[in-house]
Chains A and B, each alone.
Chain A
Amino acid sequence: MSDRRIDSHPILPPLTSERIDFTFNGEALQARKGEVISSALYAAGISIFGHHHKDHGPQGIYCVNGQCSQYTVVADGRPVKSCMVPVSPGMSVQSCEDHPALSEVEASASSPDVPDIEVQVLIIGGGPAGVCAANELGRLGIECLIVDDKQELGGKLGLQTHNFFGSVADCYAGMRGMDIGTRLAEEVGALPTVDVWLDSTVVGAFCDGKFGVAGPQGYRLVSPHATLITCGAREKSLSFPGCDLPGVYGAGAFQTLVNRDQVRCAEKLFIIGGGNVGLIGAYHALQAGIDVVGLVEALPRCGGYKVHEDKIKRLGVPIWTRHTVLRVEGDEKVERVITAAIDDKFQPIAGTERAFEVDTVLVAVGLSPVDELLVKAREYGMKVMAAGDTNEIAEASAAIFSGKITGRKLARDLGFDVPIPSDWESFGEMLKHHGSEPVAYEAPVIDTPVYPLLRCVQEIPCNPCIEACPHDLISMPGSILALPDFAGLCEGCGQCVIACPGLAINLVHNDYDPTGEKALLTLPFEFEDEVIPFGAEVVTTDMEGNEVGTGTVIAVRKREDQDRRKLLMLEVPGTDKFLVAGFRIREPWQGEPVEGEAPDADPMVCRCERVRKSEIVTAIRDGVRDMNQLKAVVRSGMGGCGGKTCTELVMRLYREEGVDPSEVTQPSIRPLVAEVHLGDFVRTSDKEGD
């Protein structure tokens, strides 16, 4: 049995939960207590969870968020979502081959009388926006109920091992996302009027003004006076040949496996999409000891922050802008990815195909709001607001602030006289800033003994560096978007190097070698010691990852107060001292040219019902313009996810076929928003009296 667990990690504390035994298709395996089935299987090297009833296609994880439909396994005789259900001791898990069978169960007394609970404010989703809103409401003594489908509050913050951008004073900038999550959860836990239901799924909004919640205490209806929907976002999908192979999945899914469950789910990774999610996913992978072979971005420039991009380029990850993934190949698993350059019309350029041997491909092509409940609640005339990604896709720091503002708005709506400072709205907007066009970096010539180089060339909402300097030598004129300036006599404490979320500051020690032949740099480093051992010679790079020369590690400073960021002292030739901004931990590799014709392939569009592009295009050409009818004809959107994954892909096919999107009727949204068991809707004797 292969054990693909992360034993040591530069940021994450080791998981100490005990091991429990279970079986998969009869094979004895071990899980960590509390771990979901999908992670336990991945940790054992199992990535195929079953085969689809339509075409026997292999099924594996995709979203790891209970939203897609590829999760099903049969656990102790019942079909379950492997990514949501924890392994229990002795559990017998079977792969789901075709349709799961309903095994016999004992009759037990049950009742349809479910509790109907009235609350002042229901908050659906305990991520950054939801929790921050609850903090505002709870501080005013307003009764709130947070319902979240995970085991703990904080949402995706718990997966974010990196330091956050934004404002130190307003949204915890500089702290690691996971630590912000913990702090917010603690704050909300201390508020007596805030109740929290974890592991609980809101399955639908109903026209009688109630929400249905399935959870460990049984099914409950909630009748709120006001509702705040902070369900976050889901990852957008892509359709290309091989996109349905196990091993192609979302970057958020990857972060869950690696950073929550500490499973080393891949050896060699390729990433599609140069937004912040893809870029930071690459960084997280490298930190977990997973090799990142490359990243493609269709646009001429990555959409994510430049500091994120440069950071991974310096470590040796090639970023291919104006490139796309043509296909992923392999037999029931990912074996290689084929990329190509694209022209101005996003069409692949023949002759530019390259192949990379990888075992995993991450899709990180943007997010869509999870807003089904919002749409229905509005339709039913319920008093409802949204915050965070459900309202508008942006960084988590923006979601934190958006939760804060919306919480206060809701309080005011409920008649509480609480101020909303006049600059909050505009500040909230600033936090959503995607970054300006970068400017060229020019290192200033300074002759003091030691000083920092602030390689910050793009306006982004971020200010930890100015708060970090004990002598206030770093300033930021105007707003937190501005580029920082340094002036004065630096003492070389390294606080700014530790604080910069972009890892874009390094120190130059002019006084290291009076002859000027050598120079010493202090660089940030967030990997295990053995990645770059003391005394190692490394390949140095400039700010954007281009090779400069070599350097030698002469010291590593790792104090408790550095928030798990090491300071690496690198000796470089004096001539390189302004140029070197980092060093490689891997050798970039350009792949192999691909010869011959591409195989004919018909990509999957609807993953749940395994409907391919040709089937949908045929229906479009037959005149189908109502997506509800398309569902009836080819079954796209009829599966477990309810069209959440494929609707956008189908719309793209309509546009490709020259159909005006306004001619296309969108699919109806109906409960349930997530599949739950029929048995979850009744009260049984063991669930009563909670």
Chain B
Amino acid sequence: MAADKTYDAIVVGAGSVGNPTACFLSQAGLKVLVLERRPAAGQGDNKAAIGGVRATHSDPGKIMTCGESLKIFTNWEDEYGFSVGWKPGGYCFPVFDDQIEGVLKGILPIQKSHGLEIDWVDADRVADLCPGIIRENLRGGTYSPIDGQVSPLLAPVAFQREAQNNGAEYRFNERVTGYLRDGAKVIGVKTGQGDYHAGETILATGADAAEHGVLLGLEIPVVPDVHEAGISAPVEPFLKPLVVDLRPGPEGKTANFYFGQNHEGQIIFCYTPRELFPGTNRESLSEFLPILANRMISLIPRLKNLLIRRVWRGCYPMTPDGVPIIDRVKGVDGLMLAVGMCGQGFMMGPGVAKNVTSLIVDGTSTLPDEVHACFRFDRDFWAAKTEALK
């Protein structure tokens, strides 16, 4: 029984946000405890990610946060000698119609204004980046070479190792059942195995954020829905960028789909359903493979010869406006929210973790105030959505 231990910070959840947060907090010298209900780090929706990491969003907060993530991921192996499976190659959005061309070209100025290396490329260049792509009606597309892919399997191991090297303590198979309060202030957590005290408690509970909100007496507007993904056996490297096809599918089920070849040579793929699957059922559906196979083969016919190895589902913890919550809660000291990553937790995680560390250690965001404003807990979540590219 590890009752009544005291830490500087307790991170609840060792997923795509909690795990790097523990890493950077412990690097900053804090005594950190990580509590995870699953048996190991990154075993929830983190490993369900397909691993794409791009800074090329349209929302400044996401652009800057993912820019930070990219920096961390690209340098990780040099800095720590442990591979996170980083594969450069960028993101390519091939375009076949006016409407999508308009959207993508429309956000280029804001993306460029944040220093992002992204531009419109012609059809030949897209065909060069995506060998075998159907040329009919291909108008070109956007390409952002500095984006890339990271292994959602290796990254959690990397962050956990570095956190533990800095003294962070991980406790697995231990579910947080309540929060310790001193008046309004959160002073720690309660689990089936004891109470743990800390000056700061960081909520990084992904799809379970709302349930933890209930324990805290807070309404955290995070509602999960489920997305499905799959992976092939490895093939000879031929596809550099992660490819996003924003066209809705003729079958009426897909809003868009995307895929890439990872550092192992495997093709990893996913689609955004037109009609969402709310909930947390992470078991696979029969309709996924026929729908996605048809879309992939219709875009790049040679993909039909891929041997398909595995499929799975993972949760997108959605906020009403599609933007995460990275904030303290007014009137509740000792609590930091880092939740509602809206399916982008893996790519945002390291950047969010840097931000949370800065908020806790220095009391300031890594982002300018006006940019960080979009992550505030007290924002109007139901204001008109302005983000063009989610």
Residues of A within 8 A of B (CB): 53, 72, 77-79, 98-108, 110-114, 204, 206-208, 210-212, 219, 221, 379-380, 624-626, 628-629, 631-633, 640, 642, 665, 670-672, 675-682
Q: Are B303 and A102 in contact (CB under 8 A)?
A: yes
Can you give 24 contacting A-B residue pairs, CB < 8 Å? A53-B234, A79-B235, A100-B236, A104-B132, A105-B301, A105-B305, A107-B298, A110-B294, A113-B251, A113-B290, A114-B290, A207-B285, A211-B286, A626-B40, A628-B47, A631-B153, A632-B47, A632-B156, A640-B233, A671-B310, A675-B309, A681-B289, A682-B297, A682-B304
* B302 CB within 8 Å of chain A: yes
Partner pick for A629 among B43, B151, B283, CB 8 A cutoff: B43
Q: How many residues of B contact A (CB 8 A)?
A: 52
Q: Are B41 and A104 in contact (CB under 8 A)?
A: no
Give the residues in chain B near A101, CB-CB below 8 Å: 235-236, 238
Q: Are A110 and B238 in contact (CB under 8 A)?
A: no
* B42 CB within 8 Å of chain A: yes
Q: Are A671 and B311 in contact (CB under 8 A)?
A: yes
| A108 in contact with B301 given A207-B285, A629-B157, A676-B307 (CB within 8 Å) | yes
Whose C-beta in chain B lies nearest to the C-beta of A640? B233
| A219 in contact with B290 given A206-B284, A624-B40, A670-B284 (CB within 8 Å) | yes
* B237 CB within 8 Å of chain A: yes
Sort A-B residue pairs by CB-CB distance and give the 6 closest, nearest first: A679-B304, A632-B153, A207-B283, A626-B40, A681-B293, A629-B40
Beyond A632-B153, A678-B304, 15 extra complex contacts between A and B, CB < 8 Å: A53-B265, A99-B236, A102-B236, A105-B305, A110-B294, A204-B311, A206-B284, A207-B281, A211-B286, A629-B39, A670-B312, A676-B307, A678-B305, A678-B307, A679-B304
Give the residues in chain B near A105, CB-CB below 8 Å: 132, 301-302, 304-305
* B107 CB within 8 Å of chain A: no
Query: A interface, by DSSP: helix, strand, loop or mixed?
Result: loop
Whose C-beta in chain B lies nearest to the C-beta of A380? B283
Q: Are B293 and A106 in contact (CB under 8 A)?
A: no
| A111 in contact with B294 given A207-B284, A628-B43, A681-B289 (CB within 8 Å) | yes
Q: Are A632 and B305 in contact (CB under 8 A)?
A: no
* B134 CB within 8 Å of chain A: yes
Q: Are B308 and A672 in contact (CB under 8 A)?
A: yes
Whose C-beta in chain A lies nearest to the C-beta of B164? A623
B107-161 contacts to A (CB < 8 Å): 132, 134, 151, 153-154, 156-157
Q: Are B301 and A107 in contact (CB under 8 A)?
A: yes
Whose C-beta in chain A lies nearest to the C-beta of B288? A206
Whose C-beta in chain B lies nearest to the C-beta of A53? B234
* B291 CB within 8 Å of chain A: yes
* B296 CB within 8 Å of chain A: yes
Partner pick for B237 among A99, A111, A221, A628, CB 8 A cutoff: A99
Give the residues in chain B near A624, CB-CB below 8 Å: 40
Residues of B within 8 A of A (CB): 38-43, 47, 132, 134, 151, 153-154, 156-157, 172, 232-238, 251, 253, 265, 281, 283-287, 289-291, 293-298, 301-312
Q: Are B237 and A208 in contact (CB under 8 A)?
A: no
Give the residues in chain A near B310, CB-CB below 8 Å: 642, 670-672
Whose C-beta in chain A lies nearest to the C-beta of B134? A107
CA distance A249 to B238 in the complex (A): 33
Give the residues in chain A near B291, CB-CB below 8 Å: 112
CA distance A98 to B291 in the complex (A): 30
CA distance A107 to B134 in the complex (A): 8
Give the residues in chain B near A77, CB-CB below 8 Å: 305
Q: Are A208 and B157 in contact (CB under 8 A)?
A: no
Whose C-beta in chain A lies nearest to the C-beta of B38? A626
Give the residues in chain A near B237, CB-CB below 8 Å: 99
Q: Are B286 and A678 in contact (CB under 8 A)?
A: no
CB distance from A76 to the nearest CB of B (A): 10
CB distance from B134 to the nearest CB of A (A): 6
Q: Are B303 and A632 in contact (CB under 8 A)?
A: no
Give the residues in chain A near B312, CB-CB below 8 Å: 670
Q: Are B39 and A676 in contact (CB under 8 A)?
A: no
Give the residues in chain A near B294, CB-CB below 8 Å: 110-112, 681-682
Of A107, A110, A206, A380, most B-chain CB atoms within 10 Å: A107
Of A100, A104, A107, A678, most B-chain CB atoms within 10 Å: A678
Give the residues in chain A near B47, CB-CB below 8 Å: 628, 632
CB distance from B174 to the nearest CB of A (A): 13
Give the residues in chain A near B308, CB-CB below 8 Å: 672, 675-678, 681
Q: Are B301 and A106 in contact (CB under 8 A)?
A: yes
CA distance A480 to B87 in the complex (A): 65
CA distance A107 to B304 in the complex (A): 10
Q: Are A99 and B39 in contact (CB under 8 A)?
A: no
CA distance A633 to B47 in the complex (A): 12
CB distance from B113 to the nearest CB of A (A): 38
Partner pick for B39 among A108, A112, A625, A675, CB 8 A cutoff: A625
Q: Are A629 and B41 in contact (CB under 8 A)?
A: yes
CA distance A101 to B39 in the complex (A): 37
Q: Are B306 and A102 in contact (CB under 8 A)?
A: yes
Q: Are A221 and B235 in contact (CB under 8 A)?
A: no
CB distance from A218 to the nearest CB of B (A): 10
CA distance A485 to B304 in the complex (A): 64
